[in-house]
Amino acid sequence: MNLTLDLQQASQQPNLPSEAQVTGWLEAALAGRLDSAEISVRIVEEAESQELNGQYRGKDSPTNVLSFPFELPPGVPAEEMNFLLGDLVICAAVVASEAAQQNKDLYHHWAHMLIHGALHLLGFNHIESVEAEQMEQMERDILAGLDISDPYKGEF
């Protein structure tokens, strides 16, 4: 897997993952699915997450991860842009809060959120229960390959 990562750290939260960690987690999510990809990851504060969540999802609160799949501009041949996967926006404070509330290792939760977001960029979703089960199983399998336990264990 050949991943080009544009990592933007716009958060002052402590204990943010390193570029190497982010790259490794995304490569694990994309392995066997793509040969090459370019992803932008922006780590933000709550205000920016809330603004984007309101603008794009109609929800007036910050959220853990937002995924923005790349959309091919009209008239551009797909083969010229097939490596551009999209953008992920992750709110560091929400990820840290969730990890603490769910009694999860902070970096394991970061890995889960990045993998979850990458799967959205690939077109997977969790709107319908069958799709949710499939996506969650993909996440479990990818995380298990990284020696990270089931993030849904104990959730209802």
Round to whole Å and give the CA distance between 20 and 50: 27
- Compute the distance between CA of residue 116 and CA of residue 79 in angstroms, rounded to an integer: 26
Confirm whether pTM is higher than 0.75: yes
Residues 57, 60, 84, 144: what is their CA dihedral angle, to the nearest 10 degrees? -100
In the numeric block, the tokens 């799949």 are attached to 69
How many C-beta atoms lie closer than 10 Å to residue 114's C-beta? 25
Domain made up of 2-145: CATH architecture: 3-Layer(aba) Sandwich (3.40)
pLDDT > 90 fraction of the chain, expressed in percent and rounded: 86
pLDDT, tens digit, for every residue of 26-45? 999 999 999 999 999 999 99
Query: Does residue 30 contact residue 66 with C-beta atoms inside 8 Å?
Result: no
- Show me where the domains of the chain are located: 2-145
Q: How many CA atoms lie within 13 A of 63 on its CB side?
A: 17
Integer Cα distance of 84 and 73 in angstroms: 12
User: How far apart are the C-alpha atoms of 148 and 58, rounded to whole Å?
Assistant: 32
Q: Is the pLDDT assigned to residue 99 strictly greater than 80?
A: yes
Neighbour-count burial of 124, counting CB atoms closer than 10 A to its CB (0-12 exposed, 13-18 middle, 19+ buried) = middle
Return the bridge partners of 69, or none.
86
Q: Tell which residue, 82, 56, 85, 54, has the closest CA to residue 69.
A: 85
Of all residues in the chain, what percent carry a pLDDT higher than 70? 96
